[in-house]
Amino acid sequence: MMTVAGQAEVEKTKPLEYQGRKASRAKSEQRRRLILEAALRIVVHDGVRGIRHRAVAKEAGVPLAATTYYFKDIDELIVDTFTLYTEKALSTVNEFTHQFYQPMSTMAGSGHDITTPEGQKDLIDFMVEQLTLFMREQIVAQRDMLVVEQAFRYEAIVNERIRELAKLHRTVIFDRAVEFFSQVAQSPEPAADAEILLGLFHSLEYRALLMDRADDLSQYTNTIRRYVSLLLPNLLDQIKP
């Protein structure tokens, strides 16, 4: 199962470094955060190119001078906006990791034999349920964050400063997936399985964003179940006595 070192790694993510003027007081930090939250909302509705000092100030409900005080130029404002996005996204990953590992540990410790048909069904049902719940949370409750993520990916291609954030973001998520496949699922190819899982989620999330209305989540469940079912026989081969 997950090692103590791995658990500790989930508990903490290296603090991200913001580029703009540092806030010295709590009230000042609140205003700075208010500005960045407003910039994220603008990305959702108008894209990155919608981020302008005047537009952000209006959205945040602060004087124009406040945005120029904290951020010397638009590039700095954009970088810090995506820094806030990265902070939020990594927090979501850590929270999901906690929710996923704890029941997995309980299942393993309760004597479940996943080499039996009943044990295999329990394992598949659990993994499908947890992954589907995560997808539902992303698609329904965190849809705006998914929109920002798409903008984030493109901006990382054309903006070197944001590219470093994107690399950090991907590395943390990828490492979490590799850790699961290596330590919990005992996969013979944890990195490859992690790539496949992340690719699957990116595809399903993108599809969800293209829909004009709430999509039928059962279709996502079916896809996830198919993936887990195909993966499981390979994992069982590694742990059979």
In the structure, what pLDDT confidence band is assigned to residue 27 with cuts at 50, 70 and 90?
A: confident
How far apart (Å, rounded) are the C-alpha atoms in residues 57 and 209?
28
* Same domain? 44 vs 111: no
CB 32 within 8 A of CB 23: yes
Q: Report pLDDT for 98.
A: 74
Residue type, 132: T
pLDDT in tens, 145-189: 999 999 999 999 999 989 999 999 999 999 988 988 887 767 788
DSSP readout, 221-233? HHHHHHHHHHHHH
Q: Report pLDDT for 61.
A: 96
How far apart (Å, rounded) are the C-alpha atoms in residues 128 and 98?
16
* Same domain? 14 vs 32: no
Q: Please enumerate in sequence order all residues whose Cβ is within 8 A of that of 160, keeping only pairs 6 or more positions apart, or say none.
A: none
Between residues 58 and 22, which one has the greater pLDDT?
58
* Same domain? 55 vs 141: no
Residue 3 has pLDDT above 50, yes or no: no
* Same domain? 147 vs 105: yes
pTM for this prediction: 0.80
Q: Tokens 């059962």 appear where?
A: 218
Mean pLDDT of 76-87: 94
Coil, helix or strand for 97? helix
Q: Please enumerate in sequence order all residues whose Cβ is within 8 A of that of 145, keeping only pairs 6 or more positions apart, or say none.
A: 85, 88, 89, 92, 138
User: Does some domain include residue 137?
Assistant: yes
In the structure, what pLDDT confidence band is assigned to residue 192 with cuts at 50, 70 and 90?
A: very high
CATH number at residue 41: 1.10.10.60
Q: Report pLDDT for 199.
A: 93
Q: Report pLDDT for 124.
A: 79
Element (H, E) at 80: helix 74-109
Q: Which sign does the torsion angle of CA 70, 17, 2, 119 carry?
A: positive
CB 156 within 8 A of CB 48: no
* Same domain? 55 vs 92: no
Q: Which sign does the torsion angle of CA 64, 70, 73, 78 carry?
A: negative
User: Does some domain include residue 76?
Assistant: no
Highest mean pLDDT among 8-12, 21-25, 27-31, 134-138: 27-31
Mean pLDDT of 123-143: 82
**In the predicted model, what is the mean pLDDT of the chain?**
81
Q: Which sign does the torsion angle of CA 39, 41, 43, 49 carry?
A: negative
Candidate from 117-126, 210-219, 232-241 with smallest mean pLDDT: 232-241
